[in-house]
Amino acid sequence: MWKMEVIVKSCCLVQPAEPTWNGPFSLSELDQIGVLTHVPTIYFYKPTKNWLTPEHTIIKTLKNSLSRVLVPFYPLAGRLCWLDGDRLELNCNAEGVQLIEAECEAKLDELVNDFAPSLKFDNLIPHVNYHTPIEKIPLMIVQLTKFQCGGITLSWTISHVVADGQSAVHFISEWARLTRGEPLQVAPFLDRKVLRAGEPPVRKPRFEHFEFNPLPFLIGKSSNENEMKKKTTIAMLKLTKFQVEKLKNKANRKRTSDDIGRAYSRYEAIAGHIWRCACKARQHAYEQPTSLIICMDVRKRVQPPLPQMYFGNAIMDVVATGLSGELVTNQLNYAARKVREAIDRVTSEYVHSTIDFLKNQKEFSRYQDIHAIRNNLGPFYGNPNIGVISWIALPMHDLNFGWGKEILMAPGTLDCDGDSLILRGQDGDDSLVVSLCLQVDHLKSFKKFFYGDIVTDN
């Protein structure tokens, strides 16, 4: 696939502007199961008359504010290292965040009219070389790309071991605030002991944790190796406010005594809808087992609640399971109920049981598969399964570094078949966007069901 030519003009490490605490920084059990890969995001900004003068360039301003924001967020300037072979530790050594300045001869309008994350725009997002020893890999890499028309993209990729989505957005928001010349608003809460298991002897988990079992394979298969090799493509599917409400109404229509009391949320309705459409598009047999992976923020689910600005991974996956035939022959509320049941398992007791379960594991090799990571595979949610992550609640839009809000924000390239994200629409009109990676052979059918089933009783 054609890739846009981008020329790197400069590259440097940005270190904290003041001395910060140095030494080993213990990670929580929920950090240990995060993938070793980095999570990319990209923002597009139109040309503006308010660009800074050559004597006070954008890159200099970003470098200065990045250096200052790394003082309170000093863990991001450190490096990971292996501890006891298969557990990770964070070395707070202030080595810094990598900052890249690049140029592109294309015009911004050529990109944003029909943007979807793809390899076509890969050079606008920083690359991470996972063949480098982990002790040398920056936890964050930033890339500023200037276009011929005067527009720019600002992108970054942040280690998922060190920060989840909420933490990453907190950091970026404070960085933008300092770049605008404003003071830091809220410092991060860095103490991860609140989500760590106690010292030995560790308690036994109080629940069964099926979410760590292998996901289903296609009937007759003993692995997903063949599915992982199939060509995928990415789509950005918009849901208008009307379509979102229509799906919520469908999920809450014809409720039965099996349905849990309160009305299904838009996430539960949309996730159930995506799951059903994937089963239909993939043409599963009726008895095909299938799982939906749900990423949960536990900050408000543990008691006492975590500080909202807890910096780290306060997320965990839970799994809804079912048979494809039952999902597609029943109404949407059946799938939404499966999603609700999985979400409602995540109580404070369940979170702490998960932490105890993980602490009792002798190794994390099944979660930290470096071979898969180096081949850009990551966790595989593909056929017959799907992962649906919600970024709806993350305040990712209207990111102003001093030159106005972005014209477009998007996740970087999704990893593999079955990855999907639900994002708020760019226009602030309560619309949503589903960013989805699916096998090429399945996407056309998926789109047909995705939009067609909203207006039918299927």
Confidence of residue 51 (pLDDT cuts 50, 70, 90): low
Distance separating alpha carbons of residues 267 and 179, to the nearest angstrom: 34
Taking residue 397's Cβ as centre, other Cβ atoms within 10 Å add up to 16
Mean pLDDT of 237-266: 87
The yes-or-no verdict on residue 374 having pLDDT over 90 is no
Give the fold, CATH level 3, of 218-452: Chloramphenicol Acetyltransferase (3.30.559)
Tell me how crowded residue 64 is: count the other CB atoms within 10 A of its CB.
15
Residue 198 sits at the vertex; the CA angle it makes with 301 and 342, to the nearest 5 degrees, is 30
**Spatial CB neighbours of 95, under 8 Å, sequence gap ≥ 6:** 13, 15, 77, 78, 79, 138
6-195 under CATH 3.30.559.10, yes or no: yes
Name the segment(s) of the chain with CATH classification 3.30.559.10.
Answer: 6-195, 218-452
Q: Which are the contacts of 54, defined by CB distance < 8 A and separation ≥ 6?
A: none
Residue 211 has what pLDDT?
Answer: 86
Instruction: Report which of 337, 301, 294 is spatially closest to residue 318, judged by C-alpha positions.
Output: 294
State how far the Cα of 285 lies from the Cα of 236, in Å rounded to an integer.
28
Read off the pLDDT of each residue in 308-331 and give the average, rounded to a whole number: 96
Q: How many percent of the chain have pLDDT more than 70? A: 88
What is the overall mean pLDDT for the chain? 88
d(CA 40, CA 409): 11
Contact in structure between 14 and 70 (CB atoms under 8 Å): yes
Could you tell me the pLDDT band of residue 8, with boundaries at 50, 70 and 90? very high
Strand arrangement, sheet containing 97-104: 6-14, 97-104, 140-147, 152-159, 38-45, 408-411
Distances (CA, A) of 271 to 7, 252, 267, 320: 40, 14, 6, 11
Query: What average pLDDT does this structure show over 156-167?
Result: 95
Supply the DSSP symbol for 60. H
Rounded to 5 degrees, φ, ψ at 30 are -70, -25
For 406-439, what is each residue's pLDDT tens digit? 988 888 766 689 999 999 987 778 899 999 999 9
CA–CA gap between residue 440 and residue 428 (Å, rounded) = 31
Give the number of other Cβ atoms within 10 Å of residue 97's Cβ: 25
Distance CA 129, CA 3 (A): 19
From 31-40, 47-56, 116-125, 147-156, the region with the lowest mean pLDDT? 47-56
388 contact partners, CB below 8 Å, separation of at least 6: 270, 271, 274, 275, 292, 293, 294, 420, 421, 422
The CA–CA distances, whole Å, from 151 to 132, 263, 450 equal 33, 44, 34
* pLDDT reported for residue 48: 74
